[in-house]
Amino acid sequence: MKTGFRVFLAVILTLGLSWLTFVVAPAVQLGRAKLEPVLNSSDTWPIQPSGDAALGLQVYRANGCAACHTTQVRQEGVACEVVLTDAGNNPAAVSNLLSTLKLSGLTKEQADAVAARIAAAGGKTETHIVPTGADIARGWGVRGSVAADYLYDAPVPLGNLRAGPDLANVGLREPDLNWQLLHLYAPQAVVSNSAMPPFRYLFRVQKINGTTSPDALRLPKNFAPPAGYEVVPTPAARELAAYLLSLKADAPLYEAPFTPAIAKP
Amino acid sequence: MSEEMKPDLTHGEPAATRATTPMWLFVLLLALLFLGGVYFDHHSGWFSAKVYAPYTSAEEVEQYQPRSGAAAMRAHGKQVYEMVCGVCHGNDGLGKPGQAPPLAGSEWVNTKGDNRLIHIPLEGLSGPITVKGQEMSFPSPMAAMGAALSDADLAAVLSYIRSAWGNQAGAVTPEEVKAVRAAIGAHPQPLTAEQLQTMPE
């Protein structure tokens, strides 16, 4: 084969170029990623997880949670929404104008045009940024996931199969520690049609010695242990639950902007 | 090895000969290059680490940053609150026993008007006070914490506490703060709850 060396060179060049652009370049770019400033705030993102939550990531990994759950919210686009804040001196004219205008699902330019028309009628408005997409419509997050969300995770448990719901914001959806523990011990006790297998080996069934332990699970009747026994979480279960509670990507960032709703109680 | 399996070397090693490259291949490659360029322009974000879909450039991300006046004022109010007020009233607005009463759900915060509320940080408050049906007293009075803040800062922080933690009262404007500050004049004494109740809401 006279062309052997040329073929070898071509293969090295092709593989080398893709290695440089798909492995080295992103590692250089994101390998030095630092905390991101949160929009309109002095806070930084992400929040450092507690020690329990950091250990919980390893429990998450060891139990193969990422095989059925993703932790990434996809975003398809952004829409602008114009919200009236002050009707001004001529509320009748402004409300007449509002009834003729489309106020949500706008592009930036359309929103600016609508805001200018309302301002001309004397009303004051603000423009809200609303991320859109199927994941967001399902209630799995307020915005798409970005690299900064995973700064403290090693490894990053992105997952690629959604046999169960996405968990990127499970700490926001179910902020109750007892719910999380109950769900790990008996998923069907809290979500009746859940396909998740129970992780009972993360818990201990023990004889009640005098009084019930303060951290014993309060299980519904058909999942409860026999009388005189109680179910208590092991450290691994607590760590996993702490990790799940720490999953909340709800800060507006430069690369993932949105207008947060007014702080809830 | 049998005789038939030996390679036939009578014609030597097969070799490539030269021929002109067909024109259609060039056209196809150029078309692919053009399509690649268009795709790159639409989806690469010029390889910025801060540009994610659906944005196509850093300029477009910049264009979509929230700039609404009220949201920025609320954020500023939160910042001032956590620096000045949160130390005693708690960042969650629930107050701290022995230090300060709660603001979340408090009838002193969720007033119809904001005249009384503006007086509290400008003049301070002392003595027992009934909040949410519960009589509370504290070892030390509230100092005039807001006297040192600018009208805009105080308006932002009062608007924040009236809209945070489930409170749903109207915003406070810097002009209203300015008017109350002018009416108080110099050297105010800490108010009491009774004095406050005599003022218009």
A265 to B165: CB separation less than 8 angstroms, yes or no:
yes
Residue whose C-alpha is closest to residue A256's, from A168, A157, A164? A168
Using the predicted structure, report yes or no on whether residue A144 has a pLDDT greater than 50.
yes
User: How many C-beta atoms lie closer than 10 Å to residue B49's C-beta?
Assistant: 16
Of A83, A108, A264, the CB nearest to B64: A108
**Ordered DSSP codes for B91-154:** TTS--BTTTB---TT-TTTS-SSSHHHHHHHHH-EES-EEETTEEE--SSPBP-GGGGS-HHHH
| Burial classification of residue A44, based on how many CB atoms lie within 10 Å of its CB (0-12 exposed, 13-18 middle, 19 or more buried) | middle
Which residue of A41, A252, A256 is in closest CB contact with B52?
A256
- Helix B174-184 with B115-123: angle, nearest 10 deg: 60
Q: Dihedrals φ, ψ of B18, to 5°?
A: -90, 145
Cβ contact, residue pair A127, B47, below 8 Å: no
Would you tell me the crossing angle of helices A108-120 and A91-100 to the nearest 10 degrees? 150
A129 to chain B: which residues are within 8 Å by CB? 64, 66
Half-sphere exposure of A20 (CA within 13 A, CB side): 6
Identify the pLDDT of residue B174. 83
CA pair distance B161, B105, nearest whole angstrom: 10
**Residues 6 or more apart from A98 whose CB is under 8 A from it?**
A84, A118, A123
Output B1 or A214, whichever has higher pLDDT. Answer: A214
Q: Which stretches does DSSP call E strand in chain A?
A: 36-37, 44-45, 77-86, 124-132, 203-207, 229-233
pLDDT tens, position by position, for chain B (201 residues)?
455 566 666 677 777 778 888 999 999 999 999 999 999 888 888 888 888 888 888 888 888 887 766 667 777 888 888 888 888 888 888 888 888 888 888 888 888 888 888 888 888 888 888 888 888 888 888 888 888 888 888 888 888 888 888 788 888 888 888 888 888 876 667 888 777 778 877
What CATH number does domain A36-74+139-246 carry, 2.40.50.100, 1.10.760.10, 1.10.3720.10, 3.30.465.10?
A: 1.10.760.10
Per-residue model confidence (pLDDT) at position A193: 92
Structural contact between residues A133 and A75, judged by C-beta atoms closer than 8 angstroms: yes
Task: Specify the DSSP element, H or E, that contains A19.
Answer: helix A4-19
Q: Is A100 exposed, middle or buried (0-12, 13-18, 19+ CB in 10 A)?
A: exposed
The pLDDT score that the predictor gives to residue B201 is 77
Which tens digit of pLDDT belongs to each residue from A217-238? 999 989 999 989 999 999 999 9
Give me the amino acid identity at A106: L
Our CA-based measurement puts residue B65 at a distance from the nearest CA of chain A, in whole angstroms, of: 6
- Under an 8 A CB cutoff, do A108 and B71 touch? no
- In terms of pLDDT, which residue wins out, B155 or A181? A181
Q: Do B61 and A260 touch (CB under 8 A)?
A: no
User: What pLDDT sits at residue B140?
Assistant: 84
Rounded CA gap, B107 and A234, in Å? Answer: 44
Residue A58 or B55, more confident: A58
Mean pLDDT score, A145-168: 92
| Lowest-confidence region among A24-33, A122-131, B127-136, B191-200 | B191-200
The residues that bridge with A207 in the sheet, in sequence order, are A229
Q: Where are the domains of chain A?
A: 36-74+139-246, 77-132
Sign of CA dihedral A218, A219, A224, A225: negative
Q: CA nearest A249: which of A30, A74, A16, A41?
A: A74
Helix axes B151-163, B69-80, angle to 10 degrees: 90
Q: What ranges do the domains of chain B cover?
A: 69-198
Q: Looking at the predicted structure, is the pLDDT value of residue A263 above 50? A: no
- Could you say which of A25, A42, A76 has the minimum Cβ distance to residue B54? A76
pLDDT for the residue numbered B45: 85
- What is d(CA B110, CA A240) in angstroms, rounded to the nearest whole number? 40
Chain B closest-CA separation from residue A130 CA (Å): 10
Q: What is the pLDDT of residues A39-51, one digit of tens each?
A: 877 778 899 999 9
Cβ neighbours around A28 below 10 Å, total = 11
Which of A99-103, A120-124, A236-240, B74-78 reaches the highest mean pLDDT?
Answer: A236-240
Size of interface A-B (CB pairs under 8 A): 83
Superfamily of domain B69-198: Cytochrome c-like domain (1.10.760.10)
State residue B2's pLDDT score: 52
A22: pLDDT strictly greater than 70: yes
Listed range (A90-94, A149-153, A224-228, B3-7) with the worst mean pLDDT: B3-7
Question: And the tokens for A3?
Answer: 């062309």
Selected residue with higher pLDDT from A32 and A170: A170
Identify the sign of the CA torsion A107, A108, A110, A111.
positive
Distance from C-alpha of A87 to C-alpha of A100, rounded to nearest angstrom: 15
Q: Bridge-partner residues for B162, per DSSP?
A: none
| 3-state DSSP percent of chain A in helix, strand and coil, to 5 | 40, 15, 45
> pLDDT-based confidence at A64, cuts 50/70/90?
very high
With a cut of 60, say whether residue A265 has pLDDT above it: no
Q: How far apart are CA B49 and CA A223, in angstroms?
A: 48
Single-letter amino acid code for the residue at A73:
V
